[in-house]
Amino acid sequence: MNNIAIITARSGSKGLKDKNILPLAGMPLIAHSIIAARESRVFRDVMVSTDSGHYASIAEEYGASVPFLRSKELSGDFVGSWDVVKEVLDKYRTAFDMRFDTVCLLQPTSPLRSVQDIIGGYQEFEEKHADSVTAVCEMEHSPLWSMTLPRDLSLKEYLKKSKGDLPRQQLPTYYRINGALYIRRIEYNSDGSIKLPETEAFAYIMPRERSIDIDTRIDFRLAEILMKDNL
């Protein structure tokens, strides 16, 4: 298959300033995803979509390609990742006459994702004849122990429905999307539009210790600790 990895690295993070290039274990955060993608040998191209020339230089230093910067329209705070992916695929098609069979979205905020996770995700994709494979991990706490609270903070309704008195081992296992790996089959329509079908969609299960999604300083610190333990 002809595959492309797209690493989305917008500048201007509000929660954790410049988080995509903060140093983690001696390298900018974005470098961990670039290196894992390249070492997997799954991709024809490992591309970083960014709105920053500075970020682009860092990405290229670690072996990614940045043939163009992200458009201003897709560089805001509330832009969806798949809109960015489609922009990249469309530019490769129109500017370089390059088409791909699959795209793998790799968020730089998941630096603990391993080479084997990428390879394993693609193995599942091929074995299941999938349209999409998305990485998940077991939830830290069962949602059956969760609640919403009324204004008066009463627990009355929660206690009526709660299974909080059951041992954890007797509760069903719940999973969440961890943000580390999104593989999608690509369809190019005759009008030039791009479709990423999900009719045959499957989960790729990753362990929680490789499922950190960095959004805050606490997340970053936890990633540092886990990465140090694995060195």
Core vs surface per residue 92-128: b (16+ CB within 10 A) or e: bbeeeeeebebbbbbbbbbbbbbeebbebbbebbeee
Number of domain units in the chain:
1
Say if 157 falls within a structural domain: no
Is 216 within a domain?
yes
Let me know if residue 169 belongs to a domain. Answer: no
**For helices 29-40 and 115-127, angle between their N-to-C axes, nearest 10 degrees:** 50
Strand partners of residue 203: 134
Residue 34 pLDDT more than 80?
yes
Higher per-residue confidence, 71 vs 142: 71
Note whether residue 115 is domain-resident: yes
Tell me, what amino acid is at 24?
A: L
For residue 85, which amino acid is it? V
Residue 188 in tokens? 């190019």
Tell me, yes or no, whether 155 lies in a domain: no
- pLDDT digits over 80-95, tens only? 899 999 999 999 999 9
Q: Provide mean pLDDT across the span 22-40.
A: 97
pLDDT band at 165; cut points 50, 70, 90: low
Contacts of residue 220, Cβ cutoff 8 Å, sequence gap at least 6 = 16, 19, 22, 24, 214
- Rounded Cα–Cα distance for residues 151 and 1 (Å): 54
Choose among 85, 42, 47: nearest CA to 67: 47
What residues have CB less than 8 Å from 45, skipping those under 6 apart? 4, 5, 65, 98
For 165, the token pair is: 């008195």
Is the pLDDT at 186 greater than 70? The verdict is yes
Domain-located, residue 149: no
In angstroms, how far is CA 98 from the centroid of its own chain? 23
Domain enclosing residue 196, as ranges: 3-139+174-230
Q: What is the CATH number of the domain that holds 66?
A: 3.90.550.10
Domain assignment present for residue 164? The answer is: no
**Predicted confidence band at 172 (pLDDT cuts at 50, 70, 90)?**
confident
**Is 231 a residue whose pLDDT tops 60?**
no
Contacts for 8 with CB less than 8 Å, ≥ 6 apart: 48, 49, 50, 81, 84, 85, 105, 107, 108
The pLDDT value recorded for residue 167 is: 67
Residue 147 in any domain: the answer is no
